[in-house]
Structure formats: structure tokens, C-alpha cells
Structure 1
Amino acid sequence: MVLAGIVVPTLAAYGAIWSWRIAALHAIYLLGMSLLLIEGLLVGFRKIPFTCSFPTLRNHVVMLALLSVIGYSLFTGTSSQIEHWMMLHPWRFLWLVPAGTLAYDTLRRFRNEISPVDASLIFRDQPRAAVTTLDLSPN
């Protein structure tokens, strides 16, 4: 639904400025790259945003932020260069099908290798204990 709100105006704008063929190629490319970016960012994502009552700021938050910045940079910079390269010879867009399929299959395999415990969604976090005990009592 959200992607339709991006792809349809893009198709209309490119169709008005350039030819509808270029608009369609760009819209298809934008849709494919957006879906791959979404799938890539959500691999291993277990928590539904704003449903957890406790902040998830842990040691890996810096790494996740860095990976998000790298993913966004690759999405905006590299994908526009690839699209420009394909626009020079539109038959190159045929490479999108096997490349996109391979990328999606790689993400799917990675997601399937995640253990079932790590793959389940978490709707509510439990608070961390202020004091951790070893539970050595014989009770």
C-alpha cells in the first residue's frame, strides 16, 4: 500500500516528463529495489515498533544504525548508478529479474536459517532485573 503511494506518483511524473516506457522501467526498478531494501532491513527483525514498553538500546544499536545508514546509502547512490547504466541500454533491465530473484532468495535463505526462537515476534518485553542473582539456594 505504501509502495503504491510512491510508485504511482513516480510513474505519473516520469510519464509526464519523459516517455511512458522510461516511466514504466523506472517504476518497476523502484518497486523492485524498494522491496529488496524492505526485506533486507527486516531480516531478523523480531519486535514490532512501539509495542515494547522498554527501550531496546543495547550494545548493538550503534551497529544497527551504521548498517541502516550503509543500506540507505547503497539504495540511493548505487541503485541510481545501476539504473542510469540500464537506461543507456534498456535491454539491460532484463538483468533485474535474475539479480532480484537471487537477492530475494539469499534473504529468504538467511531468514530461514534463523532459529525458531529468534524468528518469533515479541509484542511485550520483560523488564531487566536491577540485581541479577545466581539462584543458588536449595529451595
Structure 2
Amino acid sequence: FTSGAIQLSHHKATKELGDNFMVTCWDEAGRSVSWNGPKGPLGTKSHPGVEVSSYGTSLVFMPITKDDSGIYSCRAGQESAQFSLTVEVPLTFMDTPPEQIGREYTDVTLRCEVKGGDKPVLTWTSEGRELP
């Protein structure tokens, strides 16, 4: 993964909310590397945090949050490279019992509440057919 003398361990990643992840940037010329995120400069006390080691300067997501989605850039001198992170939020069924009982010939309200995902679409089916 090359962009001039700047190297990145990843250019693009899709991770789940709550995962831990690290992307490393290094400069073949040995210059110091800085990271910027969607909201500006990043450092050792920011989220994500920056860690410097003998093999490069890493951006550490521990844990990944929904707000971490975006474009990050590492820079050394006038050269830079970009990394894109997409955060997926798993679907969760909220307060939805798997079995709901109704009485024959009476109105029944079935509950289904979903949280997460990217604008989830609910579909109701009965005996294998989609309901309007």
C-alpha cells in the first residue's frame, strides 16, 4: 500500500461497533508522522488514540464507536495517505418477544422494534407471503 514514501497498513476497513482495530502509518524516509481525523488532529489522549512505536505511528480504535466512521489521513512533511473507516451497527431486536399470542377473531397488535443498522426496513410475512 504505497503513496510516495508514506505507507499504510490499511486503506479501507469496515468494522462493527465495539470492535478494536488499529491502522499503522509509517514514512520510509523516517520522518515523524501525524494523524488527522474527521474532526481534526489526533493525539495520544484522543479517540481514536495515536501510538508511536519503532514500526510506525498507529491509530488505535478501542473500542470503535459509531462516530469513528470517516476519512483519516496520516502526514509526513508534505506527503499524506488516507484511510477510510466504515462502522456497522448490528441490528438488535428491542423488547420484541419471539412468541406473541393472540385470541382468534380479535384484533392483535404485534410488536417489533429494531435498533441499529443503517435505516433498517421491517417486513412482515404470514405463511411465507409478505403482508402490506
Interval of TM-score (by shorter of Structure 1 and Structure 2): under 0.3
- Report the TM-score, using the length of structure 1 for normalisation: 0.18
Query: Could you say which structure has the higher helix fraction?
Result: 1
- Report the TM-score, using the length of structure 2 for normalisation: 0.19
